Structure 1
Amino acid sequence: MSDNIRSELFFLKQFGFNNALLQHIFLLGIDPIQAIFNNKYKIHDELEKKFTDRERKLAANFNSYKNFKIDLFKNEDLLKKSSKNKIYFKYDANEVTKLIPDKIMPLFMYSKGDFTLLEDNKKRVAIVGTRHPSKKAVTITEKMTKKFVEDNYVIVSGLAEGIDTISHETAILNKGKTIAILPTNFKKIYPKKNKELAKVILDEGLLLTSIGPKEKTYKSSFLERNKYVANISDIVVVIETNLKSGTMNTIRNASEANKKILFIDQKDELINNKIYEFGGEMLND
């Protein structure tokens, strides 16, 4: 695929066109500008069905798109030449497409920092758990993270409060590398209290997201984040969780991806059994 077409799809996505529509245009092998703004989509029945009412309105104003594109190109930090910035396209062979299956890979993913942490020769472990950990869980997280850093693993988590934050901070404290997978773009770090932590990770590790600079975060973005955490990791370590939680969603995704799942005794038979169902292996003291 030419850089020009890839670039155009990126700008169209930021302008408001959806993943499914843009992927369909790409797979048809037609020029996205011709397809969208010159109404050529109307000659493809399946393509026309993928347009929402909002997208039909967007397609009626090419000048607005041109101005949007010029402004974004001039002002977006992600598009400035830097060894720290990288955009991954779904249909290219790259570090991310080697790790994330086609069925869940978005059209684009974006990284800032040391993207070599995604390479084949790196070992990665996701350390995940509740946003409201017990004191014991905090201690275990610190101990486990330190051990994996000593064994040359890259620590992966989702920059959420609680276990995620502790695992990132402990990795950095012990001179390890860490990857934070975000449910937001790089300018809208969530939670806000982790903005400074994100800056440190940018220097010491990698920030990765599927949310582009002009895209919004939805509830589904957090679930998608969990899929990426599970899929880029070799092992998922569960510190503390509830039956219905984002962590359990990550465990489910790890099971579907055939990842090794290790977990601490939750002191709750229902939770332990649920993790066992997903192929989890309980760790002893």
Structure 2
Amino acid sequence: MLEIDNINQVMLHFSLCKGLDATQRIMMGVILMEEPNVTLAELADRVGMKEKQKALFYASYAAIDLEQIIEDYKKLGIQWVSFFDASFPHYLRHIYDPPSLLFYKGNIDLLKENLLSVVGSRAHSRYAAEVLEAFVPRLIGNDFVLVSGLAKGVDTLTHQLTIKHSGKTVAVIGCGLDQCYPYENKVLQEVIAKEHLLLSEYPAGTKPLRHHFPMRNRIIAGISLGTLVIEAKYRSGSLITANIALKEGREVFAVPGNITSPFSGGTNDLIVQGATCVLSGEMLVENYLK
């Protein structure tokens, strides 16, 4: 029998286990809340785990000292919220592949505000910085909390300008909250964790592996009302975020750029394919985000 007095702790335990994915973790949580006396083996069967998965799951579940991990997380200042918690982002709960749990540092209440994701390429032109300088004050002046991924380039500028203009920002990262990537954003990450909100679906100690970032992008898009793409080359990672937003029925906005500039190839193409073209922060707020 499993104890489910605290569903967040149960989901934390599951999130640290091997052999199951986020969907299976959520399914287990649903079953447990409806049938508190179900066994671990019954849960594994009910969510369709294969024999190899089961072996990994059972071994890792038994090896986890949950009380010690909770104590370690307290020392690190890391908290968490599960899919079943009232504080879990409403919009994120309804995406195709929601995370079963989010780790966070900072003000979790920011997730209840009007969130707009702002993304763009790591390599960008001066034009991107000028656009952000024009857009950011207008957006935060209308009470939008700006979400980005703390990557180099447009993400970093978005967070920095939001803080500079006394706004609030959310950073979603592709590693554990005790890690820092890129390293040059260490101070910025610490400021966001202390005064804003730092999020990840990955447990402490998780390194910033390449495949984590497309998964991170679905959270950036998923918690937001819409996604604004400032500047992006063809095949930029920020276009992944935009495409996820489109698939989830969210608004996607793109800032047009010079047609001869490689930095604007992705954003111009988004507009051709149906993204909303925006020319100013005022236009974005007054016509689309009221």
For 1:279, the equivalent position in structure 2 comes to 274
Task: Kindly tell me the number of residue pairs found equivalent between the two proteins.
Answer: 271
Is 1:145–1:171's contact at 8 Å kept on the other side of the alignment?
yes
TM-score normalized by the length of structure 1: 0.81
Identity of counterpart residues, as a percentage?
A: 23
Q: Does 1:89 align with 2:82?
A: yes
Q: Aligned in 2, Cα 1:75/1:91: closer, same or farther, shift over 3 Å?
A: closer
For 2:286, the equivalent position in structure 1 comes to none
| 1:110-149 equivalent positions in 2, closer than 5 A | 110-119=103-112, 122-149=113-140
From 236, 242, 246, give the equivalent of 1:245: 236
Question: Offset of 1:187 from its aligned partner?
Answer: 0.7
Question: Offset of 1:111 from its aligned partner?
Answer: 1.9
Structure 1 counterpart SS, 2:274: coil
Amino acid at match of 2:234: L
Is 2:121–2:232's contact at 8 Å kept on the other side of the alignment?
yes
Amino acid at match of 1:103: Y
Q: Answer with 6-15 or 179-188: which moved more.
A: 6-15
From 25, 28, 32, give the equivalent of 1:25: 28
Question: Offset of 1:247 from its aligned partner?
Answer: 0.8
Whole-angstrom distance in 2 between the partners of 1:261 and 1:62: 41
Question: Offset of 1:152 from its aligned partner?
Answer: 2.2
Question: Offset of 1:278 from its aligned partner?
Answer: 4.9
Whole-angstrom distance in 1 between the partners of 2:234 and 2:87: 35
| 1:12-91 equivalent positions in 2, closer than 5 A | 12-19=14-21, 20-29=23-32, 34-36=39-41, 44=45, 47=47, 50-51=49-50, 53=52, 56-57=55-56, 59-60=58-59, 64-65=63-64, 68-77=65-74, 86-91=79-84
Is 2:231–2:255's contact at 8 Å kept on the other side of the alignment?
yes
Question: Offset of 1:184 from its aligned partner?
Answer: 1.2
Whole-angstrom distance in 1 between the partners of 2:219 and 2:91: 12
Q: CA RMSD in A?
A: 3.0
Q: Answer with 50-59 or 102-111: which moved more.
A: 50-59
Question: Offset of 1:110 from its aligned partner?
Answer: 1.8
Question: Offset of 1:190 from its aligned partner?
Answer: 1.3
Q: Does 1:9 align with 2:2?
A: no
Deviations 1:119-166 (A, max 9, x none): 1xx222222111011112122222211221222221111100000000
| 1:196-275 equivalent positions in 2, closer than 5 A | 196-215=187-206, 217-268=208-259, 271-272=266-267, 274-275=269-270
5+ long unaligned stretches in structure 2: 281-290
